[in-house]
Amino acid sequence: MNVAVETGLWQLEPEASAVTLKHRTVWGLVTVKGAFAAVSGGGEVAADGAATGTLTLDVSSLDTGNAKRDAHLRGADFFDVDRHPEITFVARSVELRDGGTVQVSGRLTVRGISRPHSFTARLSDASADTLALDAEFTVDRAQFGMDWNQMGMMRGLTTVTTSLRFKRANG
């Protein structure tokens, strides 16, 4: 895939984007899946091809299909929504590579704790008015103060999957 991404401002299309997570629990026997219903963001592609952007997740919009579990995840043992209502990823470097892959580097902030985070995404659509990026990467929740692990039931990494669609911003 040989593409040239249009310069300018890009706005995330929340209705056409998805951010999901999955984590193996109960000693690895059960996989909990969830999705963030409220996602926002945008970015800019400069004339030299350099790109930056921000993605914001409303943590209270996380839905795993179990209201009791969702309430626990929103509480102080995990995301602590009352004190930290958003998860943000600020992309400081977005580089298009051969084959339609995109190397993304930036800072992930969860529960008020920021850590560098990098991953490889795939540019699945690029036109004059649309950009779409898909990625799957892992996050160590303990690095963000989420180390609740009653009886050792929750170990390992959380897998995050994103499908983000951007439209050229007017103006």
Q: Token pair of 42, please?
A: 């945008």
Cβ atoms within 10 Å of 137's Cβ, excluding its own: 17
Average pLDDT, the chain: 88
For 34, counting Cβ atoms within 10 Å of its Cβ (0-12 exposed, 13-18 middle, 19+ buried), the class is buried
Does the pLDDT of residue 132 top 80, yes or no? Answer: yes
What is the pLDDT, as a whole number, of residue 171? 54
Does the pLDDT of residue 107 top 60, yes or no? Answer: yes
Residues 38-60, mean pLDDT to the nearest whole number: 93
- Beta-carbon contacts of 2 under 8 Å, excluding residues fewer than 6 positions away, are none
Does the pLDDT of residue 88 top 90, yes or no? Answer: yes
Q: Which CATH architecture does the domain made up of 8-168 adopt?
A: Beta Barrel (2.40)
Exposed e or buried b per residue across 40-69, where buried means at least 16 C-beta atoms within 10 angstroms of its C-beta: ebbbebeeeeebebebbbebbbbbbeeeeb
| CB distance 103 to 93 below 8 Å | yes
User: 19 or 153: which carries more pLDDT confidence?
Assistant: 19
| Residue percentage of the chain with pLDDT more than 70 | 89
| CB distance 56 to 85 below 8 Å | no
Q: Token pair of 23, please?
A: 């984590």
| Residue percentage of the chain with pLDDT more than 90 | 63
Does the pLDDT of residue 170 top 80, yes or no? Answer: no
Cβ atoms within 10 Å of 99's Cβ, excluding its own: 9
What is the pLDDT, as a whole number, of residue 163? 98
Which of 56-60, 66-70, 113-117 is predicted least confidently? 66-70
- pTM of the full structure: 0.89
* Alpha-carbon gap, residue 116 to 109, rounded angstroms: 9
User: What pLDDT, in 10s, does the model give residues 2-48?
Assistant: 456 788 999 999 999 999 999 877 555 778 899 999 999 999 988 88
First to last CA, the chain: 29
